[in-house]
A and B are shown apart, each in its own frame.
Chain A
Amino acid sequence: MKVTMRVNGQTREADIEPRWLLVHVLREKMGLTGTNVGCDTSQCGACTVLMDGMAVKSCNVLAVQADGADITTIEGLKTDGAYHPVQQAFWDNHGLQCGFCTPGMIMTSIDLLREHDNPSDDTIRRGLEGNLCRCTGYENIVRSVRDAADKM
């Protein structure tokens, strides 16, 4: 069956089986491999994208549920060649090491900062509880989100 969605500002179509997950359509049908898959039980959050402005785990959304939706992936964050403030903050604050969880962390952080423009460290830590990182111990991720909040 056909699904149509707006992905990073462009209208994209894919011909898929109904059981296909959004993340697989993004990665394998649309070539947007920046969104990573880190688990099979929706714990890790590496696959987080924005769907109509809200963070969703794209391994937990059937592509048919995203039919007609507006999707933003990590590839769609730069504007006019400039990094999104959250991307910039992760770079500036060493908020990533291996970088595998990073796209999902950044997308969740953007959603978190949409809801809280001046979050406390505790709010940040609770807001990121759906995203796992095994490298940073979260210290510099929290700093990155804090820094992005200060600059946005």
Chain B
Amino acid sequence: MNEDVVVKFVEAYLKKKGFKQAELSFRENLQNNNSTSSSSIDFHADPELSKFILSYSEAESGPARYHDGYSKLRSWSYSSLDLYKHELLRVLYPVFIHCFMDLVARGHIQEARKFFNTFREDHEMMHLRDLQRLEGVLSPAHIEEMEFAHSLRHSKVNIKICQYSYDLLLQYLHKTQSTTILGIINEHINFQVSPGQPNSIFDDAEAVILIGSSQDAANQINQKEIHWGLLEDSLEDRLEKAGSFLSDSEKTEGETKEGDMDENKKRAVEGGKQGASSKKSKKDKAANATAKAVRPEASTVSMAPRVKPELSLPVMPAEVEQSILEDLRNRVQLNSVAMPSISLYTFINTHNGLNCSSISHDGSLVAGGFSDSSLKVWDMAKLGQQAGGSVLQGENDTASSEKKLGLDGGRRSYTLFQGHSGPVYSAAFSPTGDFILSSSADTTIRLWSTKLNANLVCYKGHNYPVWDVQFSPLGHYFASSSHDRSARIWSMERIQPLRIMAGHLSDVDCVQWHANCNYIATGSSDKTVRLWDVQSGECVRIFIGHRSMVLSLAVSPDGRYMASGDEDGKIMMWDLSSGRCVTPLMGHTSCVWSLAFSCEGSLLASGSADSTVKLWDVNTSTKAPRTEENKSSGNINRLRLLKTLPTKSTPVYALRFSRRNLLFAAGVLSK
């Protein structure tokens, strides 16, 4: 190798990086050592440097070396020691991707195709969706244009690897002189070498997800502090007070009263882990016992802290508050033994047009958004009176009875809201059920009044279809997410958004409020879930782990956990404070359209395109790791599927736990 060239490169490099001091000293050194036989700089010490040199030296050789280099590396890593194999195999995927893109970038399209098809099988299991996207990249222009490819090219992949595997890899690369591969590895992979034993295979899942932004940034963001606690002076708190008052006034049995007092004290300590109503606990001795067994542990560990609201929150009318309190008092306590009753609302004769559905908090109103731009709202209380018993006579009968209804009255059984000019993709009820928001492909969000049956406001702000809209838990504010890659916060009284959350690398597909209204969570097609601070509009958490588009989100009532469901049927449970996945919940075989936590947070319900509702015990999955944190046993799989409830042929679009813990589900009958 010509030494002058090297020197030139070094100079150029230093200049480019702005290392003026280093550049000067380098020149001095160079002049001093001019006569000596070789430069004292170790090429391999600086990967960046060696890359320059290598890429220079190899510029003229053909595209075949990518193929050869990769296949050699592949066979080498497959035949490596079992203990280190999985770590080395992780390296293959980024190398594969970049070999392919290098080939494309150099214009060797045919070779790139051949290379891609030869080796794609290896990675299909883990990265099918990425491969499908990359498959279409066929010219250098595409790489520049396609955001995903672009971001891959300009970011590094972090791979955790143990010291020995790293040494093995380097040794191999040096020994075989496979400089092409070495170049790629240097350029695109950032090894986090850890001393000691290799990681367990279990970590693999998270290890090699390629994301646009660098993992470092994500880690940095996840360092930020968040206050996940509940709002102070919430209704639940008031219920506590009211509950103690109530139990005092109800002097029925002496002994149970004692128990109650005990309970109340405990609850006071617990501070907001909303328990069952005191009535319930009195009635149900057995449940009480189990509850007691659980509570002490809960009270020591999961005291949900109180936080101040960052937004000025709306004031609830007294009568609404009263009815909610009444509901809370009558709430059934759910756990792995006491499971909820589920009422399924089935849409029939939708002619493939139903895009979304939503259920009000008391389950009495059901809204459906249709692809013909209409929004239809059914009042189930009224429907019950009209249809009477005919509802229970099977599909055929109901179909005919509906027909009869139509003929008889000539009146629809629903309220039709028309105003959108594109498919309605989402609908949401306000907590009191007075308002409905709907979002549509016509880029607008509309606010409707269920009292007046009229459109009140049209919110324009997004530039592309609005995929999802959600009211905040206390109403007044709402959040929307759109194809334009932003999520926005609005208040009902302003037609301009209050905040714009930008940062996702692809469509924001779903949005959900945190229980304390200070945060919103968004799920995106870039396979991440983000948590945003509503007040500042900053991203405070990035949750990486999904392998496909995130379709549904739910935040636990105590505000500590979040569940997200994706296109593959995987549900992930996240700890908001640490930003880590508590446990993945596997079981669904198709898209998870909807998730809902029960009101005390012990159960998670999920509704899916595979026509089932599944109930998950989240108490075990969330509490157990905390008790064993000191044992540092980290990642034991503790999820538990409690129950799978198949519907006849109804993909479940929406789920909602009422305040009394009755679960409502809605879906469309598909044949």
Task: Indicate whether A and B interact.
Answer: no
